[in-house]
Amino acid sequence: MDLIADHISHRFGALDVLDKVSFTVRSGEVVAIVGPSGCGKSTLLSILGGLLRPSEGQAELRGAPPADSLNPLTFVFQDFALLPWCTVEENVAFPLAHTGLSPTERRAVIDDALRRTGLSDFRGTYPKQLSGGMRQRVGIARALAVRPAILLMDEPLSALDSQTRELLMEDFIRLLADGAMGAVYVTHNLEEAVRLADRIVVLSRRPGRVREVVTISMTRDERGAIDARGKLLALQNELWSLIREEAIDAEREVQHA
Amino acid sequence: MPSVRSSMLDRAPSQDRQQGDAAAKPRPVAFRGGGFTPAAGRYSGWIALALVIALWQLAGSAGWVNPLFLPAPSAIAVAIYKLAISGALWHHLSWSMLRIGTGWMLGTAAGVIVGFAIGLSTLARGVGITFISALFPIPKIALLPLLILWLGIGEEPKIATIALGVFFSTAISVYSGVDAVPRNLIRMAQSFNVPFHLIVRRVIWPGALPSILAGFRITASVALLLVVSAEMIGAEYGIGAFVLQAGNLMQTDQLLAGVVILSLFGLVVGKFINLLETRLLHWR
């Protein structure tokens, strides 16, 4: 199943946020969206996931989702969006309540999601008792439970410390390795983008337009090798040179606002 | 290369810290972070209460105050005991409980329904907030004569007065609670295609519950205030009527016995709501 951004424009009142953004996320592909602060990355993701109606253009799906997918487009949120009154297990079970799965099937799905995210021993724990990294793992387990075709990840690591970020990045790479799931990964962190994505959509400053689509020529396996670090850093620098001037302008704009 | 790394990680010798101003004697950094964290002592409140009662008793026993104006705590305790033995206390209390219970439940049920409607529907919000803003400030006891005119002189107007007072505070606390539910949780549920009724039951209701329970604490006090006022205006039985009669007869020990019972009632309700909060909001 492909996800298509078709000439998406969006305005908040008089403020133009996105301007005719178009690109396609192919089945199993990981596409990162980067750009200066305020360029509309998160707004674009909300539109792609059907949580926000665009002013113009539309988000489209092409092809059928996998037969067993309970929620083809599934978000992983920056702030985790966990229900604080529910345990880890109840949070993971939350999107399954209305899906028509039998209790046995539901139990199996929850167990599998908890096992894949290393949360099996934390079933009865409440979110307030967990670290930021563990909370995001719950968010990921909840997303995996519905067997998504495409994960929509809105800066999923930005609220975490650098060590936890690194650990979760390794988890993301592992989860997306087999190409069974695609992802749209919104980030301001270029290192995350080059390590995880197959293609990187670079947006201009507000109103966000597609400035460039950079294809990462290395496979994900190649990127994991130690001697690939130099190449990744070069890619990262290349991306930074693309957005640096606009990032400076955007920062000044925010400060003046 | 290793030598470069080790030189980068070399730390300055500890004696370097003492160079520069070797003559100056080190002194501790002054602590500036105290205060602004008041905490209720476990026993201090009870000790203070016991001291006040002891002082009050001493004033009564020593004849420092006229018992007609301020009877001693022992006299009030005796009055409560006699009222309990005679059955009058339960008679008055049961009438008040009936009115409070019925009025509170009616007002709460209506307030929760209207509060949720205002919190969830644009149409209900537009209409409801206007009416609530206009009617909430009216002292509900002022409506009692009108309610007597409409509903007769039985229990209905008193119960309706309590229900009205409870309704407005409940509706406000409910829709404020619904408004306070983090929108990201609602969007999360929508992103999983969770149906509306499940979002209300599994996300909005528990999210609004802290505000709703805080509202219950207020409406319990409102109900107590209104039942006493209503009973003073037009009732033969009830704690309010009893306190008024005792005042008219200058039986200040009985009057204060009624006040103490009202205070105890308020404490019991407060403890019950604490219990509810502990049970229902354990996740906070």
- Residue-by-residue DSSP string for chain A: -EEEEEEEEEEETTEEEEEEEEEEE-TT-EEEEE-STTSSHHHHHHHHTTSS--SEEEEEEESPPPTT-S-SEEEE-TT----TTS-HHHHHHGGGTTS---HHHHHHHHHHHHHHTT-GGGTT--GGGS-HHHHHHHHHHHHHHT--SEEEEESTTTTS-HHHHHHHHHHHHHHHTTSSSEEEEE-S-HHHHHHH-SEEEEEPSSSB-EEEEEEP-S-HHHHHSGGGHHHHHHHHHHHHHHHHHHHHHHHHHHHH-
Residues 179-198 of B with CB under 8 A from A: 184-185, 187-195, 198
Q: CB contact, 8 Å: A128 with chain B?
A: yes
Q: Is B17 on the interface with A (CB under 8 A)?
A: no
For residue A50, which residues of chain B lie inside 8 Å, CB to CB? 191
pLDDT at B228: 92
CA dist., res. B110 & res. B123, Å (int): 18
- What is the percent of chain B where pLDDT is above 90? 67
**Contact across the interface for A75 and B202, Cβ inside 8 Å:** no
Q: Is B6's pLDDT higher than 90?
A: no
Identity of the residue in A73, A85, A126 whose CB atom sits nearest the CB atom of B206: A85
User: Measured between beta carbons, which residues in chain B are less than 8 angstroms from residue A84?
Assistant: 283-284
pLDDT at A103: 92
User: d(Cα A8, Cα A50) in Å, to the nearest integer?
Assistant: 12
Q: Does the structure show a pLDDT above 70 at B46?
A: yes
> What pLDDT is stored for residue A159 in this prediction?
84
Test the A interface: residue of B181, B184, B185, B188 with most A CBs within 10 Å? B188
Per-residue pLDDT of chain A (257 residues; tens, 9 = 90+): 899 999 999 999 889 999 999 999 999 999 999 998 888 999 999 999 999 999 999 999 998 888 888 999 999 999 999 999 999 999 999 999 888 889 999 999 999 999 989 899 999 999 999 999 899 999 999 999 999 999 999 999 988 888 888 888 888 888 888 888 999 999 999 989 998 899 999 999 888 999 999 998 888 778 877 777 888 888 888 888 888 877 887 777 765 55
Query: CA-based diameter of chain A, in Å?
Result: 56
Q: pLDDT, tens digit, for every residue of B202-260?
A: 999 999 999 999 999 999 999 999 999 999 988 889 999 999 999 999 999 999 999 99
- List the strands of the sheet with A56-62, edge to edge: A15-25, A2-12, A56-62
- What is the predicted pLDDT for the residue at B22? 62
Dig out the tokens for B254 from the structure: 């009985």
**Count of residues in chain B:** 284
Residues of B210-239 as b/e, b for ≥16 C-beta within 10 angstroms? bbbbebbbebbebbbbbbbbbbbbebebbb
Task: Read off the pLDDT of each residue in B95-113 and give the average, rounded to a whole number.
Answer: 95
- What is the reported pLDDT for B39? 81
Check: CB of residue A34 under 8 Å from CB of residue A41.
yes
A86: which residues sit within 8 A by CB, 6+ positions away? A94, A126, A127, B283
Asked whether residue B175 carries a pLDDT value surpassing 90, the answer given is: yes
Between CA B188 and CA B65 the distance in angstroms is: 66
Q: What percent of chain B has pLDDT over 70?
A: 92
Nearest-5° Cα angle at B139, B136 to B142: 130
Alpha-carbon gap, residue B234 to B162, rounded angstroms: 14
B206 CB within 8 Å of a chain A CB = yes
**Closest among B65, B77, B92 to B254, alpha carbons compared:** B77
User: In the prediction, which pLDDT does A55 show?
Assistant: 95
**Using the beta-carbon criterion (under 8 Å), do B191 and A94 form an inter-chain contact?**
no
DSSP-derived pairing of the beta strands A15-25 and A2-12: antiparallel
8 Å CB contact between A83 and B206: yes
Tell whether the torsion through CA atoms of A44, A45, A48 and A52 is positive or negative.
Answer: negative
Burial of B245 (0-12, 13-18, 19+ CB in 10 A): middle
For residue A179, the model assigns a pLDDT of 80
In the prediction, which pLDDT does B5 show?
47
Q: Which of A223 and B84 is assigned the larger pLDDT?
A: B84
> Can you give the pTM of this predicted structure?
0.83
Distance from CA of B142 to the nearest CA of A (A): 42
From the list B184, B195, B198, the residue facing A77 with the nearest CB is B184
Q: Are strands A150-154 and A182-186 parallel, antiparallel or unpaired?
A: parallel
In the predicted structure, residue B14 carries a pLDDT above the cut 70: no
Question: Over chain B, what is the mean pLDDT?
Answer: 89
Residue for token digits 């099937």?
Answer: A105
Residues of B in contact with A75 (CB under 8 A): 188, 191
pLDDT of residue B43: 87
Q: Which of A222-231, B120-129, B130-139, B256-265 has the lowest mean pLDDT?
A: A222-231
